[in-house]
């Protein structure tokens, strides 16, 4: 079986999810997988060895300014003629299946020649009846047409009785985390704004990762680091909690590692607003709608999260894909959700919400 796997490269969460799948596919000599990424400058990808000879395209993406989606800059920046050329020129004739994680070049190339395709993504869950915030006609159209596929298999923290599976999280909690710092990952915010928020909190050590940082900088109780998979995962394992935007994958990893969350959703980004709504309904996060020192200080004194244990091995998913009946999402979903372990408080919250 030969699979084309398209991945949205704008955020690191999509790539983190693809890394787990790539590692599992490496163990399958009966399946060949080619990875394609778009939405980021090809020189800004890092720790990509697991993907082999992957391809990159410019694709389409959102542009942010100071923690908000800039519609004007997004329209000006995206090169639609280049996107159409890449889509028309992409040869998918040798593939049996497209797996797509919100990546538009491969999605439209597959649609052009009717290559069987499936979305396995967090975005796909919003095609169904799940908690949403900021929903609109534009958002619904974006979900339908940005990266269209034949089947939509969502990924979320709960199934909501829909064609949704849980996330896969590879790392297991360390036995004795140091909890010597709070981890800060706010890539859509300006560095000076983050610094201004954290500087007064001198009793707390912060480890901040940001794409605008090129080399480590130690400024006392705030340490700045460039993107790094190994360094970030170590900082995540040993942190007392995570301050982040509302991306899905990092929140999933934090929940799996029993880390408390302070989430600042990207304003104007439907997915992140909806993620905060869901986490709040489950009692699993605090919210930061603007960079506010007082709210961070209050959050630092809150108790640890209860956490959720997610599956780590996507073998069931790969076997299901190999069998070829993409319409039978029910059996796959049921088998994977049996592996999820909620804490008592979270389970009671889900029951009380009748979801």
The answer to whether residue 227 scores a pLDDT higher than 70 is yes
What pLDDT, on a 0 to 100 scale, did the predictor assign at position 10? 86
Domain with CATH 3.40.50.2000 in the chain: 181-308
Instruction: Quote the CA–CA distance of 128 and 139 in Å, as a whole number.
Output: 13
Please report the beta strands in 58-170, taking only residues with DSSP state E, as ranges in sequence order.
64-65, 68-69, 97-101, 117-121, 151-155, 164-165
Q: CA 13 to CA 107: how far, in whole Å?
A: 19
pLDDT of residue 199: 97
Q: Which CATH number fits domain 2-169+313-340: 1.20.144, 1.10.10, 3.40.50, 1.10.20?
A: 3.40.50
Mean pLDDT of the chain: 92
Reply yes or no on whether the pLDDT at 192 is more than 90.
Answer: yes
Note the pLDDT tens digit of each residue in 5-46: 999 998 788 999 999 999 999 999 999 999 999 998 899 898
3-state secondary structure of 147: coil
| Cα gap 295→76, rounded to integer Å | 35
With bands split at pLDDT 50, 70 and 90, how would you rate the model's confidence at 63?
low
* Confidence check: pLDDT of 65 > 70: no
pLDDT in tens, 262-279: 999 988 788 999 999 999
Looking at the domain 181-308, which fold is it?
Rossmann fold (3.40.50)
């Amino acid at each position: 079986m030969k699979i084309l796997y398209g991945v949205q490269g704008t955020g690191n969460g999509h790539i983190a999810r693809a890394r787990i799948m790539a590692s599992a596919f490496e163990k399958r000599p009966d399946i060949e997988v080619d990875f394609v990424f778009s939405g980021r400058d090809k020189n800004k990808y890092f720790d990509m060895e697991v993907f082999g000879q992957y391809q990159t395209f410019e694709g389409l993406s959102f542009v942010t300014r100071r923690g908000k989606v800039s519609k004007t800059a997004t329209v000006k920046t995206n090169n639609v003629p280049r996107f159409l050329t890449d889509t028309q020129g992409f040869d998918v004739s040798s593939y049996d299946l497209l797996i797509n994680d919100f990546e538009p070049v491969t999605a439209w190339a597959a649609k052009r020649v009717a290559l069987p395709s499936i979305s396995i993504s967090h975005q796909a869950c919003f095609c169904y009846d799940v908690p949403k915030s900021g929903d609109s006609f534009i958002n619904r159209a974006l979900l339908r047409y940005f990266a269209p596929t034949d089947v939509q298999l969502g990924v979320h923290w709960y199934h909501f009785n829909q064609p949704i599976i849980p996330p896969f999280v590879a790392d297991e909690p360390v036995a004795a985390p140091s909890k010597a710092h709070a981890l800060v990952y706010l890539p859509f915010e300006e560095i000076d704004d983050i610094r201004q928020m954290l500087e007064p909190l001198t009793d707390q050590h912060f480890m901040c990762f940001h794409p605008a940082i090129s080399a480590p900088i130690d400024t006392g109780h705030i340490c700045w680091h460039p993107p790094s998979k190994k360094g970030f995962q170590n900082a995540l394992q040993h942190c007392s909690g995570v301050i982040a935007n509302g991306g899905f994958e990092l929140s999933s990893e934090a929940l799996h590692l029993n880390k408390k969350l302070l989430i600042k959703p990207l304003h104007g980004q439907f997915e992140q607003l909806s993620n905060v709504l869901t986490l709040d309904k489950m009692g699993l996060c605090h919210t930061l709608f603007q960079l506010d020192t007082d709210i961070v200080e209050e959050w630092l004194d809150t108790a640890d999260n209860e956490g959720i244990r997610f599956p780590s091995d996507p073998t069931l998913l790969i076997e299901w894909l190999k069998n070829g009946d993409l319409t039978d999402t029910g059996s796959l979903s049921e088998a994977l959700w049996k592996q999820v372990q909620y804490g008592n408080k979270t389970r009671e919250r889900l029951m009380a919400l009748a979801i």
